[in-house]
């Protein structure tokens, strides 16, 4: 069975039998696609894979892709699910896949989210070649994600009728299909207007689509496509490749500018205010770092009194 057919069957298994949410199923398939590509390069098949191979793959994801403990945990969950699927599918020869259950999911580190400075974001966005159709599209997309603090899934699912450019607002569907209104700034409005007027019709041609952000085939842009484009851009800018960092930066800048927690919670679409409170710790961390930087000889920093 080829890779696409295998992943299609696995996706159906996730939805129909494991009753996973569509976004979870997509995330798991994306992870398994990475694993299968790595296995081919390492001359490993699903019937010959060993515990040492899976451990090596996870180490590769940590060192080469730079994923954190939370992402490692997701990868392990996906691998467990995939090998369980192979075992139950009947067509797989992998009887030794039980070892995957021995992998320990790492404890989630209590680490503050990474954020960029305003200067870093400006530099990253300025690297986009807006002389091309796709450059204008990407500039509009990333300006919107940053200016409105969107999740990637929210940007992907955004439809044209949910965008209100005259009011600098959009209606997005967040986690649990909970809708909220988001506000974006004039830069995002400028690039969205250019994209919708100049680029989107050229990509659509005579095809119909409700999606705002579309690919060269006129279909809704995928999360994978958005991430791949951003990853190349971030590497060029010398920044981390996590697109979610733009959302973290949005929240941190709001709080640093004086916004109250409840307002930020609503704009971010957080169900609980405790989720939003982590950004107050980031801001405090910045204050401490500035204090440390500009008063480096202060004895209190070395533990002396």
What residues are annotated to the active site? 151, 175, 244, 247, 270, 279
Nearest to 140 by CA among 180, 102, 188: 188
CA–CA distance, 291 with 245 (Å, rounded to integer): 24
**292: Cβ–Cβ under 8 A, 6 or more apart, which residues?**
301
């Amino acid at each position: 069975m080829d890779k696409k057919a295998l992943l299609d069957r696995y996706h159906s298994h996730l939805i129909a039998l494991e009753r996973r949410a569509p976004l979870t199923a997509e995330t798991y398939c994306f992870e398994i696609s990475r694993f299968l590509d790595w296995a081919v390069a390492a001359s490993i098949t699903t019937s010959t894979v060993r515990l040492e191979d899976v451990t090596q793959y996870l180490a590769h994801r940590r060192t080469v892709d730079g994923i954190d403990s939370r992402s490692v945990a997701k990868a392990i969950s996906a691998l467990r699910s995939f090998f369980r699927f192979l075992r139950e599918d009947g067509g797989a020869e992998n009887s030794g896949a039980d070892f995957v259950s021995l992998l320990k999911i790492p404890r989630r580190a209590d680490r503050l989210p990474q954020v960029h400075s305003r200067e870093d974001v400006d530099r990253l966005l300025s690297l986009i070649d807006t002389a091309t159709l796709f450059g204008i599209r990407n500039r509009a997309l990333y300006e919107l994600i940053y200016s409105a603090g969107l999740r990637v899934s929210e940007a992907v699912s955004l439809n044209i009728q949910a965008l209100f450019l005259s009011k600098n607002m959009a209606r997005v569907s967040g986690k649990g299909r909970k809708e909220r209104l988001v506000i974006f700034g004039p830069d995002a409005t400028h690039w969205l207007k250019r994209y919708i007027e100049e680029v989107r019709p050229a990509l659509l041609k005579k095809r119909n689509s409700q999606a705002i952000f579309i690919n060269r085939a006129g279909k809704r842009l995928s999360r994978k496509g958005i991430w791949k484009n951003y990853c190349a851009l971030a590497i060029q800018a010398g920044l981390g490749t996590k697109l979610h960092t733009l959302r973290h930066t949005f929240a941190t800048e709001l709080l640093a500018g004086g916004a109250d927690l409840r307002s930020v919670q609503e704009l971010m679409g957080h169900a609980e205010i405790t989720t939003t409170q982590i950004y107050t710790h980031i801001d405090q961390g910045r204050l401490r770092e500035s204090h440390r930087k500009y008063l480096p000889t202060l004895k209190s920093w070395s533990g002396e009194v």
